[in-house]
Structure 1
């Protein structure tokens, strides 16, 4: 049942989508081995005159329930890919991570649509990683063919927020993921709590054993960075590296981060 507030949000969101009043910001992900930018995660933002800054956790479920998730996904892909092309022209080499709804995977032609958009904007398919939340992996086992088609096309697949949802190790083995993202809850506590550190270490080892890369979310301190490096984590993202950035701030961040990485001395 949709309440009055949700109806107002839905109407406002639909108008924002139609009138191009949404925007994307991009959070850098860096390699813990080299310190280099690996990819940026595209994150949708909606700032409304009436409702203020509305988080995706509010409007994405509404979009899923009311038939707007596909238009939102198409807009987001086109917007992110066009920005990638501008970065490429400016000499910035980066991959893209993009969050998708499990509902989008129900369309048999979705992999073809994504690769067509890659071709339209000149984005190599191996520069794209699609991220899905762990909670969505329950129905995803029924969509193996669609997920496999993405992998055949060279597009990566990441399971987000790993460790907090309902997936099993069997599902992780069965589904064609290329990356595991460790939930920020464990990352935050890891330097000071042995149990969280043990979970992080175990997930990284598990990922590597089955041929996946491990990404740690929510990294906010030097202590977390250095512990994750010692655990052989592959990629990190979080406020310690960068908050989600407007697209025109990425070049400046790259210069700042290069200097900061050297100061950290990780990998020396």
Structure 2
């Protein structure tokens, strides 16, 4: 490890110990009626000198140097505690947490997650663990671990689906409950026939296997309309909401109920439509 990486890893460990990390939460809503179904917990690190450090930079460091379990457990505890607060406020939602395949190598990880849920009085059915599609190849070796999660009621989602080729093969072997269509296929959905064919095929395949489908990266009303027409179950993206601070979610949910009617029947005026999309 070079000195720069060593320093960043040390600072990440310090941030974990001293409360330097936080979670933001991005809503996922049902295409049928716009109702809030789930929020995805996203780790944020505001470094005092470097500014916002993206997870793509610090998560691999944590994976390679023995810090990923601490990071994962912190994220789970924080998200589950926050779920309990929302629940007390009358907000009904599930919560999704991104985990590393490295954590799944710990044989007692499903039991640990179950204990955390029990200790914080969160039903395991309200938790979904998200894994990137690129992790599915080693995950096939961890079938027992994944199956134990499903037995305990915890949902499992493949994130960034479509960015690799292994997912189609693995879907019928691994006990996933949800797939997330990668944003690269959503971006051109309203204008690209190829993207429409791919997304339709993924949705039909997933539904045939009894899986829920989420499209990420939704930013325009045209994309939303296309996904609703194709039968996608859930959507998330800047059109609906940017990642929110925990205390913002209740107010967002109230505003969103009114705004949803405009999103599915947007104004004809281009200026008003642009303002509508910008207010996610």
Place the TM-score, normalised by the shorter chain, in its bin: over 0.9
Query: Residues of 2 paired with 1:53 and 1:5: CA distance?
Result: 16
Unaligned runs of 5+ in 2: 266-280
1:263 Cα deviation after fit? 2.0
Query: 2:182 corresponds to which residue?
Result: 183
SS in 2 for 1:174: coil
Q: Output the TM-score relative to the length of structure 2.
A: 0.93
Tell me what 1:17 maps to: 16
- Alpha-carbon distance between aligned partners in 2 of 1:102 and 1:40, rounded to the nearest angstrom: 21
Would the aligned equivalents of 2:212 and 2:233 in 1 still touch at CA under 8 Å?
yes
Paired with 1:69 and 1:199, the residues of 2 have a C-alpha distance of: 34
Q: How many residues align?
A: 265
Give the match for residue 191 of structure 2: 192
Structure 1 segment 85-164 matched on structure 2, within 5 A: 85-164=84-163
Distance 1:171 1:124 in 2: 28
Looking at structure 1, the residues matched to 189 and 207 of structure 2 have their Cα atoms a distance apart, in angstroms, of 19
For residue 35 of structure 1, what is the aligned residue in structure 2?
34
Per-residue CA deviations over 1:85-112 (Å, capped at 9, x if unaligned) read: 1101111010000100001111111001
SS in 2 for 1:261: helix
SS at match of 1:102: coil
Structure 1 residue 224 and structure 2 residue 223: aligned?
Answer: yes
Q: Please tell me whether the aligned partners of residues 24 and 44 of structure 1 are also in contact (alpha carbons under 8 angstroms).
A: yes
Give distance in 2, aligned partners of 1:129 and 1:82: 15
Runs of 4+ aligned residues of structure 1 deviating over 6 Å after TM superposition are: none
The separation in 1 between residues aligned to 2:4 and 2:233, in whole angstroms, is 42
1:103-156 deviation line (CA, Å, top 9, x unaligned): 111111100100110111111111111000000001000000000000001111
Give CA-to-partner distance per residue, 1:13-37, whole Å, 9 cap, x none.
1110111110000000000012100
Residue 45 of structure 2: SS of its match in structure 1?
strand
**Aligned-partner Cα distance in 2 for 1:201–1:4:** 47
Q: Show the counterpart of 1:259.
A: 258
- 1:248 match: 247
Give the Cα separation in 2 of the matches to 1:57 and 1:224.
26
Mapped contact 2:225–2:264 kept (Cα < 8 A): no
Q: Return the TM-score normalized by structure 1.
A: 0.97
User: Shift of residue 51 of structure 1?
Assistant: 1.4
Unpaired runs of 5+ residues, structure 1, are none
Deviation of 1:168 (Å): 4.0
